[in-house]
Amino acid sequence: MKYQKFQKSYDEAINTIELLLIPTPDEKSMDGLVRWMLETDANPHGFLPEGWGGSLSTAEGFAGLLNHLHHALYDDGDVTFVTVDDQPRIVFAHRFDEFFRERVLTEQEISLERDNARQPRWKLEYKIEVLDINPSEFGPLYDQHHTAWLRECFLGDSRHGDIEYNANHYRKYKQWNESWIEEARLSQKEK
């Protein structure tokens, strides 16, 4: 019966996730990264490679991502932590891969660079920096970026809008900071 297959698949996925939440004594321990991915409210499409963002929506998808990440960390080394224009990302490619840049950038970013190279309108080249960090350091690094991005979005939305309305929307994020309301008020007074 399919229900039993579904239950077995789900139970195996939960078991995988729970196993990878257990700290290991080495620098590649994934427990901090796994815990962060379970708790973050950041959009996974922002920090995972294209095609992997949806994997955080089901136990089976998440376990599949974690298995892939574990294999990349411990077996073949085909995972690199990078920033693209200061946005942290996880990339399933070795830093010395011949096509590393193409694996780091999204299809849209590659297209924008290519189009601009043909008809230069402005200098457009994404800056990629390889990070020398352990998996557990990625989450806090991404949170810093995400917090700064949320603050800028809130302040931008509030420049000409209803600050309290916008604050109610942004309060759903863990990185929300009430002090941004005063910044928004000061910004409105300056215009």
For residue 87, the one-letter residue type is Q
Average pLDDT in the chain: 93
Residue 11, H or E segment: helix 2-20
- Is this prediction's pTM over 0.85? yes
Give CA torsion, residues 66, 68, 73, 77, to 10 deg.
-160
pLDDT tens digit sequence for 20-39: 999 999 888 999 999 999 99
The total domain count for the chain is 1
From edge to edge, which strands make up the β-sheet containing 80-84? 87-91, 80-84, 128-130
pLDDT tens digit sequence for 104-147: 999 999 988 888 777 777 768 899 999 999 999 999 999 999 99
Look at residue 123 in the predicted model and tell me its pLDDT: 67
pLDDT tier at 69, thresholds 50, 70, 90: very high
In Å, how far are 13, 95, 133 from 140, measured between CA atoms? 25, 22, 11
pLDDT tens digit sequence for 138-164: 999 999 999 999 999 999 999 888 999
**Full domain range(s) for residue 82:** 2-190
Is the distance from CB of 154 to CB of 147 less than 8 angstroms? Answer: no
